[in-house]
Amino acid sequence: MTSHRLGPEDGASSSRRAGARTTKAEFLARVRGEMAKTPGLFVAAPAERPAQPRQRLELLRRELSERWPQTLERFRAEFERVAGVFHRVPTAADVPAALERICRERGARRVVSWPSEELGVALAPVLSAAGIAVESMPRAVPPDAERLRIRAAVAEADVGVTGADLAVAETGTLVLVAAAGRPRSTSLLPPCHVAIFDRTVLVESLEQVGLALEAWHEGPAPPERGAVINFITGPSRTADIELTLTRGVHGPKEIHALFVDGGLGLHG
Amino acid sequence: MTEPLITTPLRERAAQALGDRFLHEALDIATTRFIALRRDAFGDFPEGEALRDRARAIKEATLQRLDAHLETLVANIERLGGHVHFATTAEEAREIVLDIARRTGARMAVKSKSMATEEIHLNDALQAIGVTPVETDLGEYIIQLAHERPSHIIAPAIHKTKGQVAELFSRELRRPGLPADPEVLTKIAREELREKFLTADLGITGANFAVADTGTVVLVTNEGNGRMVTSLPRVHVAVMGVEKVIPSMTDLAVFLAILAKSATGQKLSVYTTLVQGPRRPGELEGPDEFHLVLLDNGRVAQLAGPLRESLYCLRCGACLNVCPVYRQIGGHAYGYTYPGPIGILLTAMLNGPASVRDLSHASSLCGACADACPVRIDIPRMLIELRREVNVRGIAPRSERIVFKALARLLRSPTLYRLAARIGRAAQRPFVSDGRIRALPSFFGEWTKTRDLPSIAARTFQERWRDLS
C-alpha cells in the first residue's frame, strides 16, 4: 500500500497557475504518468469486437428470419411486462385503421408522425377522414422559425407515430435511430407513442443489439444519420415519491407497438 | 479540495438520522424493495454472473489502457463536431461549464440527474453567474425545491413523504392545496418542467458511459428527462469522470445488461440514450453545440493508488441498499456527495483521507456490498486500507491510534494475548451482567455508550483447545 498516494494534495491541482486550463496533452500525460506507476496488474481484456460486423449482422438477420415467431412472442411478453400495449395487424394496409382505433379510444385529435416514406405506410387519408389531424415531420430541415413551430406542434400533439430500427425480445425494447425524417421528439413529447414495425427489425438479445451497434458504426455514417440513438423500454416512469410507480413523468405515458405481419415494404 | 470538510462528528449526524422515524421507515422500505427487485432480476437471468465477470474485466482492461481509450474518445467526439474539455480539478470543471454558459448567453440550464455535477457543486456556481439551474429528475427537482441534498444515489428524495412533497409544491410552485397524491404531483412536475425544457438554453448531463470507438456518450434514465435535456436546448454539456470511458459498443451491451438490474431490478431502464455529438446537418432537432468535460478530480491519482478498484463503479446504488449502516442512517449522515460503502471510498478519493476519518469506520465489513456490486468491487478491502491510512497518517484521534497500536502488539504475541485475557477477565468482573458489559468507566465508556460488549469468556478458546489435545 502506498500511503502517500491518497488525497488531493498529491494531485496536479496545487501546482497549477490560477486560471490556466489543463490542455489535452497535459491531461493525458498525467494519466500516462499514473498508469506507469501501477504495479502488478492482472490480465484483463475488453469484450472482443466482432470482425466485419455488417456481414455478421446480415448473417444474423437471415438466421433470425427463420425463427421470428418465437422472437416476436418473447418481445410481446416483455413489452407487456414493461407496460407496453402490443397490437398486431395482418398487412400494412391495416395499419391506418388500427391507429385510428388507438386515437379514437383516447379521444386523440392531433397526431404527429414520421413521413410515410419512413414508416412504409400512409396514415393521413384514413385518419383525416376520421377527423384526426396528422402532421408529418419534414425530411429536409426547414428554416428556424418553422422548426420552432413544428416543435410546438409536436409538444401539443396527442399521439406520436414512429417506426423502429430494432425490437429487442429480451427486454421489450424499441431502438430508434434519429435521422433526417426520423426526428427524436416524435417518440418523446406526445403523451402517447406508437411504433410501427415488422419482422425485419426483431432481434433476440442485448448482445445482438451490440452487434447491430457495431455494424451501424462500421465505416463512415450515412449522411442522413442523426446524432442520437434511443432505446425505449416502456413508458416514461418514476418512483421518486414514496416509491409509488407513476407513468408519463416527462416522456409518454403510453407506448404501443404495432406489428405488421405482412411487412412494411421498407427494407427492400 | 472539492468539498469542505464536515465538522459535525459522524456520530452526531448518525444520531440525528436515527432519531428521524419517517426517514428510518422510508429507508427500510426502499432498500428492502430494491434488494428484492435486484435479486429477482438476476434470478431470472442465469447469464448474469458471467456478465458481471466480463464487466469487471472490461473495466480493468480499460483502466490499463486508459490513455489510449481517452485519446480515441476525444478524437471521435471532435470528428463528430463536438468539443472536449479537460478538468483536473472540480474548480476547473466548474469554470469550463461557466465559460460555455457565458459565451452562449445562457439564462436557464436544465439538468438531468448527474452525480458528477453534484460532486463539483455546479448548481451554486451557475446560480452565482445568473444562470438558473433546474434539476429535472423528479427526485432531484423535489430536493432542489426543498434546498436539500440527495439521500440516495438513484432515489434522491426517498426521505420525503408525499405529504411533504405536496406541501412543498403548493408553496414553491404557488399552487395551493395540492393533494398528497404521487400521480397528481408527478403531473404537476411534468407541466412545470415541460415548459423549462422548451425554454432552456443549456442542457447539462452526466454520463453513464462513453464509448471510445464511436465517440458516444450514453445516458440512462427512466423519466425521459435525459432525452429532453440532450435534444431541446441549443447547447448540451456532459460532465463525466474519466473512468466512465469504455472501448466499444460490444462492451456497452455487457454493461447495459447488468446496470439497471443492479439499480432498480429493471431489465433495462426505460431510456438509454446514445448521444454522438451535436445535431447533424439533416436533423430537425438537437443541440447546435456539444461539449464533453472530462473530469479528473482525484481519479487519475488512484490509477496507481489504493482506491484504484473504486474506479470500476457504475453508480448503481446496489451497495447502498444492502449496507447495514446505510440502511440505518441513510445518505445525508455520510455528509458528502457520495453516500454508502462505495461513497466512503469516493469521498476519500475526492477529498482526501481526512474526510473519512470517521466514515472509514462506518461499515461492519460484512461484505454485502462486494456481493451486490455488479462489477464485484472489493469495497471492504479498500475500507480496511483506508482505516490503516487514517491511522498511519495520524488523522485518527490519538486515543484511537494508541488503542490500535496496543491491540496490534497484543494480537501479535501469544504470551501477551494470554496475559491480557487473564487480566481482562479479572478487571471486567465488576461490570459484567448476563455475560455482557453494558457500561464501562471513563475512556472505555465511549464504546459502551451505544452498544454492549460481550464479556471475556471464563475460558478462552485457546485454553479449551489445550485441554482437548
User: Residues A140-196: pLDDT tens digits?
Assistant: 999 999 999 999 999 999 999 999 999 999 999 999 999 999 999 999 999 999 999
- Out of B295, B329, B357, a domain closes at B295
Measured between CA atoms, how close is B203 to chain A, in angstroms? 15
> Does residue A14 register a pLDDT over 80?
no
Q: Residue B113 falls within a domain, yes or no?
A: yes
Which residue, among A131, A200, A206, has the nearest Cα to A168 in the 3D structure?
A206
Q: Is some CB atom of chain A closer than 8 A to the CB atom of B269?
A: yes
Cβ contact, residue pair A241, B89, below 8 Å: no
Q: Residue A213 falls within a domain, yes or no?
A: yes
Cβ contact, residue pair B157, A241, below 8 Å: yes
Q: Is some CB atom of chain A closer than 8 A to the CB atom of B298?
A: yes
Q: Residue B14 falls within a domain, yes or no?
A: no
Residues B245 and B112 in one domain: yes
The answer to whether A164 and A197 are in contact (CB under 8 A) is: yes
Q: Residue B184 falls within a domain, yes or no?
A: no
Task: Give the mutation candidate from A38, A149, A150, A228 for the B interface (greatest B CB count, under 10 A).
Answer: A228
Q: Residue A29 falls within a domain, yes or no?
A: no
CATH number of the domain that residue B235 is part of: 3.40.50.10420
Q: Is some CB atom of chain A closer than 8 A to the CB atom of B26?
A: yes
Q: Residue B38 falls within a domain, yes or no?
A: no
Measured between CA atoms, how close is B155 to chain A, in angstroms? 6
Q: Residue A112 falls within a domain, yes or no?
A: yes
Cβ contact, residue pair B256, A27, below 8 Å: no
- A218-222, A246-250, B314-318, B443-447: least confident range: B443-447
The answer to whether B347 and B336 are in contact (CB under 8 A) is: yes
Pairwise CA distance, residues B168 & A119, whole Å: 44
Cβ contact, residue pair A39, B247, below 8 Å: no
Q: Residue B159 falls within a domain, yes or no?
A: no
Cβ contact, residue pair B89, A11, below 8 Å: yes
> Does residue A5 register a pLDDT over 70?
no
Pairwise CA distance, residues A144 & A150, whole Å: 10
Q: What's the confidence (pLDDT) of residue A220?
A: 87
Measured between CA atoms, how close is A131 to chain B, in angstroms? 27
CA-CA-CA-CA torsion for B27, B115, A250, B148, nearest 10 degrees? 60
Q: What's the confidence (pLDDT) of residue A17?
A: 55
Q: Residue B244 falls within a domain, yes or no?
A: yes
Q: Residue A58 falls within a domain, yes or no?
A: yes
Amino acid at B160: K
Q: What's the confidence (pLDDT) of residue B52?
A: 97
CATH number of the domain that residue A176 is part of: 3.40.50.10420
Which residue, among A18, A21, A31, has the nearest Cα to B86 in the 3D structure?
A21
The closest CB to that of B274, out of A35, A228, A252, belongs to A228
Pairwise CA distance, residues A46 & B246, whole Å: 9
Residues of B in contact with A251 (CB under 8 A): 223-224, 227-228, 270-271
Number of domains in chain B: 2
Number of domains in chain A: 1
Total CB pairs under 8 A between chain A and B: 335
Domain containing B460 equals: 414-468
Backbone angles phi, psi at B422, to 5 degrees: -65, -45
The answer to whether B275 and A233 are in contact (CB under 8 A) is: no
The closest CB to that of B186, out of A28, A184, A238, belongs to A238
Average pLDDT over residues A220-245: 94
Q: Residue A120 falls within a domain, yes or no?
A: yes
Q: What's the confidence (pLDDT) of residue B23?
A: 87
Q: Residue B441 falls within a domain, yes or no?
A: yes
Per-residue model confidence as pLDDT tens digits over B200-232: 999 999 999 999 999 999 999 999 999 999 999
Measured between CA atoms, how close is A206 to chain B, in angstroms? 6
Pairwise CA distance, residues B191 & B197, whole Å: 10
Q: Residue A20 falls within a domain, yes or no?
A: no
Q: Is some CB atom of chain A closer than 8 A to the CB atom of B233?
A: no
Q: What's the confidence (pLDDT) of residue B418?
A: 87
Segments of chain B with pLDDT less than 50? none
The DSSP 8-state label assigned to residue B243 in this structure reads G
Q: Is some CB atom of chain A closer than 8 A to the CB atom of B307?
A: yes
Pairwise CA distance, residues B388 & B396, whole Å: 9
CA-nearest residue to B74 within chain A is A24
Cβ contact, residue pair A241, B138, below 8 Å: yes
Which residues, at least 6 apart from B39, have a Cβ–Cβ distance to it below 8 Å?
B265
Question: A25 or A41: whose pLDDT is higher?
Answer: A25
User: CA-CA distances (angstroms) from residue A193 to A113, A171, B4, B463?
Assistant: 10, 18, 46, 74
The closest CB to that of B249, out of A3, A210, A228, belongs to A210
Strand ranges for A90-191 from DSSP E: 110-113, 133-136, 159-162, 166-168, 173-179
Q: Residue A8 falls within a domain, yes or no?
A: no
Q: Residue A43 falls within a domain, yes or no?
A: no
Amino acid at B287: P
- Out of B295, B315, B333, a domain closes at B295
Most distant CA atoms of chain B, gap in Å? 86
Residues of B in contact with A207 (CB under 8 A): 253, 257
- Out of B278, B295, B312, a domain closes at B295
Which residues, at least 6 apart from B209, have a Cβ–Cβ distance to it below 8 Å?
B217, B218, B244, B245, B246, B252, B255
Domain containing A90 equals: 53-260
| Per-window interface: B 310-329 vs A, CB < 8 A | none
